[in-house]
Amino acid sequence: MDIGCGVEMNCCKAVLTQFPDVRALIAVDKQSTVFQQAHFRDKKINSCVGNILERDSLKMHEGKMNKIISTNTFHHIDDKEMAFRNVYRLLKPGGEAGFLFVVNSWLYEFLKDLSELPKYSAILKGALPENLYPPDHGNQYYKEMLEKIGFKDVRAFEEEQRFCFPTDECFKDSIFGSLKIKLKMPLEAVETFKKDLLQVYEKAVGRYEGKLCHVSVRLNLLGVKPMESSDSKSKETTVN
Ligand SMILES: C[S@@+](CC[C@H](N)C(=O)[O-])C[C@H]1O[C@@H](n2cnc3c(N)ncnc32)[C@H](O)[C@@H]1O
């Protein structure tokens, strides 16, 4: 089962390429439009509109999955513990889950620094994207969360991911584009703002092979549902 498959169906595609003997896959996404617009289809893939935060939407699959994966989705989910708990319920005893999601982004830190400059504090107030990555939520935090739910053999390791912008103009347009809708700035101030964006970012993050890069930290998180426990009931009663 792939949670948050997205229109590209990247995980399903990769699984079917790497493991051609896989008999069936369930692609889950909370947006039904994903399946209408899917860029990849295969007769082994069963589409399922479901929300990993809403247990009832996936109830028919509970206790039946031997593998669950999810990439680039869990950082969008606020209540991660609830989502992991529902994944645990979906697994068969002995089933395995693997997650890959972002736990930190230098971009947010940089925007925060920028908003603290007196020149921009008023203008950026309320314009910053929500910080999806609390600073103390790293590999140890999520490892313990999975263990509390009942997963065993939990492994968690972080990796840095760098996306380099081909030109400085692309960098400026991308950052400015992500803020534009909420910014109230006179047109004549935009170019100066973009120039400042670049300078502050370069000072804070530097360049990689001469290019400005978006750097994020992704967490690989893996866990197994024990054979002896078919559900997490005993743990659920001890958790608020
Ligand atoms: C950034 S895309 C990732 C797509 C794909 N997994 C990949 O790595 O390319 C995130 C997808 O997760 C879906 N999603 C977000 N929250 C979800 C939830 N609570 N339950 C199920 N799907 C969710 C979104 O609709 C979106 O299609």
38-53 pLDDT, tens digit per residue, is 999 999 999 999 999 9
Ligand 1 centroid to Cα of residue 22, in Å, is 22
**With 80 as the cut, is the pLDDT of residue 235 above it?**
no
Parallel, antiparallel or unpaired: strands 213-224 and 152-164: antiparallel
- Lowest mean per-residue pLDDT among 61-70, 100-109, 140-149: 100-109
Share of the chain above pLDDT 70, in %: 93
Question: Is the model's pLDDT at 181 over the cut of 70?
Answer: no
Q: Is 71 in the pocket of ligand 1 (CB under 6 A)?
A: yes
- pLDDT of 234 higher than 50: no
- Among 67-76, 186-195, 218-227, where is mean pLDDT lowest? 186-195
172 C-beta closer than 6 A to ligand 1: no
CB of 24 closer than 8 Å to CB of 16? no
Q: How far apart are CA 138 and CA 145, in angstroms?
A: 11
List, in order, residues 6 or more apart from 194 with CB less than 8 Å away. 172, 176
Q: Does 233 score more than 70 pLDDT?
A: no
Where residue 179 falls among pLDDT bands split at 50, 70, 90? confident
Taken as a whole, the chain contains a residue count of 240
Residue 127 has pLDDT above 80, yes or no: no
Nearest protein Cα to ligand 1, atom 27? 6
> Which atom from ligand 1 is nearest to the alpha carbon of 7?
27
**Collapsing DSSP states into helix, strand and coil, what is residue 191?**
helix
The percent of the chain in helix, strand and coil, each rounded to the nearest 5, is 40, 25, 35
pLDDT band at 237 (very low <50, low <70, confident <90, very high): very low
Q: What pLDDT, on a 0 to 100 scale, did the predictor assign at position 239?
A: 42
Q: Are 197 and 175 in contact (CB under 8 A)?
A: yes
Best of 76, 82, 85, 105 for a ligand 1 pocket test (most atoms within 8 Å of beta carbon): 76
Sheet holding 65-71, edge to edge: 45-49, 25-29, 2-3, 65-71, 91-105, 213-224, 152-164
Ligand 1, atom 4: nearest CA belongs to which residue? 6
The pLDDT of residue 238 is: 40
Model confidence at 232, pLDDT cuts 50, 70, 90, reads: very low
Give the tokens for residue 187: 């047109």
C-beta of 8 in contact with ligand 1 (< 6 A): yes
Nearest CA owner, ligand 1 atom 13? 4
Span 102-123, mean pLDDT?
Answer: 86
86 lines ligand 1 (CB under 6 A): no
For the CA of 11, the nearest atom of ligand 1 = 6
Lowest mean pLDDT among 12-26, 120-134, 146-160, 187-201: 120-134
Longest CA–CA span in the chain (Å) reads 66
Q: Which residue of 8, 26, 30 sits with most ligand 1 atoms within 8 Å of its CB, as the best mutation to test the pocket? A: 30
Contact 134, 151 (CB under 8 A): no
Q: What pLDDT does 28 receive?
A: 98
Ligand 1 pocket: which of 8, 71, 73, 84 to mutate (most atoms within 8 A of CB): 73
Nearest-CA residue for ligand 1 atom 12 is 4
